[in-house]
Structure 1
Amino acid sequence: MFRCKQFVVNQTNCAMKVNTDSIILGSWAKPNQGVHILDIGTGTGILALMMAQQSIPSAKITAIDIDKGAALQASANVAASPWPTKITVQHTKLSDLAADNAFDLIVSNPPYFEQVKGDSHAYQSQSEIREHARQTVSLTPVNLLSFVAETLTRTGEFYCLYPFARENEIIDMAAELGLFTNRILRVQHDDQRGPYVTVFCMSKQQNQNQNHKHRDIEHLAIRDEAGDYSCDFKALCREFYLRF
């Protein structure tokens, strides 16, 4: 069980547990005045709940997951939260989602491990559910970005994360589909190591005075030199982490 300041996440029946990446993504994403919000691949429901906490009272959040167990777990977490009527959980594939409205905000912590090729034994111990939750076989970047390009409002924003090594690939892929990457957050474990993941903020509109080479780039080190959570990490996640 993962406890936040305003809600609790039970994760017993979910293949992918709450992790630091999700907390960073949910803390960095800002619903602002968005009314129609979508969480793709909700898992435990953590991102949907974080958006519920930060969004305006009239916001309506749809959270979807391809895995039935995860959808049931997320539904239970939503029902036990302060926002049981604000979030609707659906057990469905992204391609089957029936959206009545375009979305003002879309968030996703997508699967980003490539499907295993050759004689690799790296995933032999994975369950099938966990494998689908972690690998792009169930939701490729191009499928995700294509959906976002079709359903995001003109002024809406899309937040997601992928490995830092794929940063340029994801930015170029999004641009081909009409999505501008206006802000990125490069996350590293500490100052002694380089970034391992990039959090993206995309929209259909390009920020003024920004271009492909001069976008807003932020950096976040999770730990400081002493191995404790850094001041920047605490400041970012303070609304959610009990210990902060």
Structure 2
Amino acid sequence: MANNYFKFKQFTVNQDKTAMKVGTDGVLLGAWADCNGARKILDIGTGTGLIALMMAQRYPDAEIIAIDIDESACDQARENFLASPWSDRLTVVHSSLQNFVKSNAGEFDHIISNPPYFQNSLRSGDKSRDLARHTDSLSFEELFYCSNNLSSTRASLSIIIPYAAEINVMTIKNNSSYNLFRKLHVQGDINKQVVRSLLEFTKENVANCKEELLYIEKGKRHAYSEEYKALTSDFYLAF
């Protein structure tokens, strides 16, 4: 069973009220996304507030708005924001993305999301967990459409998805104003297949996409790669 809290170097994430606990996906995205120059960042599907907190730590000049469709998740994120050193720059809004876009068009310089990605798969029976994990509440098409309308003319979008969904997501992206300019493929272990894709898009023209590969472990449990430790060392206590 997961602990009721997860302690990082500069903040603690309580997770007793949310179905989705702190996980590697969120930490990877929060550590990797490039929000330099962004003054207003939107975290879609914030859950515990982990990624929003990481953005607040990394970008001291940015205001971060975090939204979630689940009321318990919003309560949890708000609690974690208030306990952090950056409570004055963190706001949580209880809303679906589809409703939020109606009154916040064009406001954000960077949008970041660890979105739901399961399609037509078996439900767990936990309503909050299923809401966070399945695309019923937010499809990839809706994510791109709403992000496109919420972002400013030079804005960026960062997401993490299963590697198997990358081709589908890139096809959907073609109906938006976004161009892919950074990609990170992640292997859980150097001897295993790629399992995650971190993708970063911009509305600006892109000549070449920067592509990288990262493996987390070096063939043995908890034997972490130097690249993974370097990426996450500002957050994990162990590094």
TM-score, normalised to structure 2, is 0.93
What's 1:49 paired with? 53
Cα offset for 1:30? 2.2
Whole-angstrom distance in 1 between the partners of 2:60 and 2:220: 38
What's 2:224 paired with? 229
What's 2:155 paired with? 156
Whole-angstrom distance in 2 between the partners of 1:30 and 1:216: 13
What's 2:107 paired with? 102
> Match for 2:64 among 53, 61, 65?
61
Query: What is the CA deviation profile of residues 157-195 of structure 1, one whole-angstrom value per residue up to 9, with x for unaligned ones?
Result: 110011111112211211221211111111111111111
Whole-angstrom distance in 2 between the partners of 1:49 and 1:220: 23
Query: What is the CA deviation profile of residues 115-154 of structure 1, one whole-angstrom value per residue up to 9, with x for unaligned ones?
Result: 33xxxxx43x431111111100111000001111112222
Contact 2:186/2:197, CA 8 A, preserved across alignment:
yes
What's 2:119 paired with? 114
Query: What is the CA deviation profile of residues 54-104 of structure 1, one whole-angstrom value per residue up to 9, with x for unaligned ones?
Result: 1133x2111000000000000000000001110110111111113165211
Aligned residue for 2:88, secondary structure, equals coil
Aligned residue for 1:69, secondary structure, equals helix
Cα offset for 1:206? 2.7
Query: How has the CA–CA distance of structure 1 residues 100 and 180 changed in structure 2, closer, same or farther, with 3 Å as cutoff?
Result: closer
Q: Is 1:39–2:23 an aligned residue pair? A: no
What's 1:177 paired with? 176
Aligned residue for 2:211, secondary structure, equals strand
What's the RMSD between the two structures over aligned residues?
1.3
Deviates more, 1:156-165 or 1:73-82: 156-165
Query: How has the CA–CA distance of structure 1 residues 160 and 105 changed in structure 2, closer, same or farther, with 3 Å as cutoff?
Result: same
> Match for 1:240 among 227, 235, 238?
235
For this pair of structures, how many residues does the alignment match?
A: 232
Q: Which runs of 5+ in 1 are unaligned?
A: 117-121
> Match for 1:27 among 18, 31, 48?
31
Q: Matches of residues 176-195 of structure 1 in structure 2 within 5 Å?
A: 176-195=175-194
Whole-angstrom distance in 2 between the partners of 1:33 and 1:158: 14
Whole-angstrom distance in 2 between the partners of 1:131 and 1:18: 16
Contact 1:113/1:136, CA 8 A, preserved across alignment:
yes
Whole-angstrom distance in 2 between the partners of 1:100 and 1:202: 18
What's 1:146 paired with? 145
Whole-angstrom distance in 2 between the partners of 1:206 and 1:56: 27
Q: Is 1:131–2:135 an aligned residue pair? A: no
What's 2:78 paired with? 75
TM-score, normalised to structure 1, is 0.91
Give, as a single letter, the amino acid of the residue that structure 2 aligns with 1:105.
Answer: H
Contact 2:105/2:149, CA 8 A, preserved across alignment:
no
Whole-angstrom distance in 2 between the partners of 1:31 and 1:85: 19
